[in-house]
Structure 1
Amino acid sequence: MKLIIGNKAYSSWSLRGWLAAKQSGLHFEEVIVPLYGTDWDRRKHEADIAPSSGKVPILWDGEAVVWDSMAIIDYLADKVGRDRFWPKDPVARGMARSMAAEMHSGYLSLRRECPMNTRRTDKDLTFSEETQADAIRILQNWAEARSRFGKEGPYLFGTFSAADIMLAPVVSRFVTYGFTLPGFAQAYADAIMMHPWMEQWYAAAAEEPWTIERFESAFT
């Protein structure tokens, strides 16, 4: 398999696709394509990226091409078994799927106002009411998942799952932008940030030579 991703410092959707590939346990080749660089307009029309209309991540598996992080999760879950990605308990699985889907389609204000940036941290920033509402909703979901289904481990549903994959970039944003979290949420955020795959991603992001000013403007 080959996974095409964008800059690790900035691309939240690439992080999700990459975590999904890691979670599958299958071997894959990682290809980084710097976003919005001088040759991005040309590169996104090339054969390996064009099927996704220039969006990353993109998973190639033989002749199969899968783009969009949720689709990649589903594709890989079909290959290796859905229990590797989702809680076994059907009630927990239903909530995990709902949380992942809500992340996929929602929290637009948080995503717009707080773009992912693994190389920056700040405090005392002011956020819009819409972004604060997004954060509150996320914390409510985390609280319910942890209280109902999180007793077997430090993640939302105990063991690491697709719900954590989808929410990991939110944890990254909370760290970057200095959100004050209640104790249970801080413990969960710490667990995500200390996950070996997250540490590996952050280390690689720190070594990237590219800077995208549109994602740095939140700090100016």
Structure 2
Amino acid sequence: MQLVVARIGRAHGIKGEVTVEVRTDEPEARLAPGAVLATDPASTGPLTIETGRVHSGRLLLRFEGVRDRTAAEALRNTLLIAEVDPAELPEEEDEYYDHQLMDLDVVTKDGAEVGRITEISHLPSQDLFIVERPDGSEVMIPFVESIVTEIDLEEQRAVIDPPPGLIDDQAEIASSRDAAEDEDEGAGAGADGDRP
């Protein structure tokens, strides 16, 4: 099975290094020196990682045969694809690979159907399930323990306990600014009434 593990960004320096947007939870294994990766577009690869290092919080890679900025810049926006055994599981018990979560049915803890996971978005703060609802609309569900309470791979479903407003229009809207304005209006009416 092929999985996208990174996207090449812009060139870094003049010696062929590139920044990469990591799309795997195991970059130390998937993006290690010596790894041979397929690419999209296919004509760009395969690429063999020669070196890797972290600089200012970003992963920088250099590939065999890429020696200057021009060659590195030509790789920009290329997807890096690793061959992964479908039976392989993450090291941690409560972790999952994207391919395990794709197409899972999403239901609430009460059993109400929400939809099907069609995409997983990896953001800096958390991952999001993009869920296609039966009517064709989409809803984004944060993949956090307080909301996604169970992943059942045998039953092919994810059970969620959504807060109000996440999957419906029942959001409870309250802000401290609104409360402060209400208090000011009440105080202002009282003061105006006391004037002679």
TM range (shorter): under 0.3
Please report the TM-score for the alignment, with normalisation by the length of structure 1: 0.23
Q: Greater strand share, 1 or 2?
A: 2
TM-score, normalised to structure 2's length?
Answer: 0.25
Structure with larger Rg: 2
